Amino acid sequence: MLSTRLILVTGASSGIGRGLALEYARHGARVWAVARSADALAQLPVDAEGRVTPVPADVTTAAGRRAIATSVEHEGGCLDVVVHAAGMLGSVGVPLVDYPEDEWRSVFEVNVTAVHLLHQRLAPFLERGTAPAVIGLASTVGREPRAGWGMYAVSKHALEGWLGTLAQEWETGRVYSVNPGGTRTPMRAQARPDEDPGTVPTPEQIAPLFLRLAHSDAPEPSGARLEAGAWIGRDPWEGLGPRRARGL
C-alpha cells in the first residue's frame, strides 16, 4: 500500500522511529532512516520489501541536517512524508524550579528546534512530493500539564504549537500530531523504570495509524491531534481505496 511513498524517519535507530522505519519499508515504502548511531542504523535490514537508506546524522547540528538533505537530494530530491520521531527525555521527577539549565536547553533543541530547522531544510523536497505529510510525535504530558516532567513536557507543548501553526500555513500538505501513548522503548523504560515493559504496546503494535497517515489518501484532516492507541489492532487501510480506483 505504500510502494510509491518516499518517507524520512528521524530517531530510526531505536524505539518508535526504528519500528516505524521498518514497518514503512515492510509495506513497500522507500525509507530514509536518520539517527546519530551509525552502528544501530547498520543493524536495520536494508533489503526489506521497500528500501532503507541509513543516514547517520545529528538533527541538532547544521552539518547533520545538511547530510540528511544531501542524502535525499542524491536520490531524487523528493519526499512524501517526514516523521519526526527523534526525541530526548531529560530528567523526570525534577520540579521546574530545580530543572538543570543544560538539560533545559538540550531537550528543547532535540524535541523542538531541530524539528523546525530540519523541516526548513526538507520543505522543498516535500513540495515535490505527492500528498505530502509531516508527522510529529506528541505526548500525553505535552497535551495536559503534569508535574515533574520538566522540559520534556514543555517541549512537547511547544511541538504541538509548532505543528498546529504549520498546519495553518501549509496549504498543500498535511500535518499531524500523533501521541503514541506509552510504548515499549528505551525512553519509556527510562521514564518508568518500575513498570513491567510487557504491559505496554510495542512500536509495531502502535504502527497502524502511522502507516495510514503516510498513505496519500489518508482522510484525517491536516492539523489533527491523534492517538495511535486508538488504531492498535486495526487495519491501517480501513476505508481507503486506491487513488486510481477513485479516479484521482
3-state secondary structure of 181: coil
CB of 61 to ligand NAP, least distance (A): 8
177 makes contact with ligand NAP (CB under 6 A)? no
206 makes contact with ligand NAP (CB under 6 A)? no
Binding residue (CB under 6 A) for ligand NAP from 6, 185, 210, 215: 185
User: Torsion angle of alpha carbons 134, 38, 192, 153, nearest 10°?
Assistant: -40
| DSSP of 60-122 | TSHHHHHHHHHHHHHTTS--SEEEE-------SS--GGG--HHHHHHHHIIIIIHHHHHHHHH
Binding residue (CB under 6 A) for ligand NAP from 6, 17, 32, 212: 17
Q: Which candidate, 54, 76, 206, places its Cα nearest to that of 138?
A: 206
Q: State yes or no: is 99 an active-site residue.
A: no
Site string for ligand NAP, 115-144 (x = CB under 6 A): ----------------------x-x-----
Choose between 39 and 47: whose C-beta lies nearer to ligand NAP: 39
Choose between 144 and 171: whose C-beta lies nearer to ligand NAP: 144
User: Torsion angle of alpha carbons 98, 154, 121, 106, nearest 10°?
Assistant: 10
Choose between 149 and 170: whose C-beta lies nearer to ligand NAP: 149
Q: Are 1 and 27 in contact (CB under 8 A)?
A: yes
Binding residue (CB under 6 A) for ligand NAP from 1, 26, 28, 40: 40
CB of 243 to ligand NAP, least distance (A): 30
Binding residue (CB under 6 A) for ligand NAP from 2, 11, 25, 212: 11
Q: How far apart are CA 100 and CA 30, in angstroms?
A: 40
Q: How far apart are CA 115 and CA 80, in angstroms?
A: 17
Q: State the residues that interact with ligand NAP by CB under 6 A.
A: 10-11, 13-17, 35-37, 40, 58-60, 85-88, 110, 137, 139, 180, 182-183, 185-188
Active site residues: 152
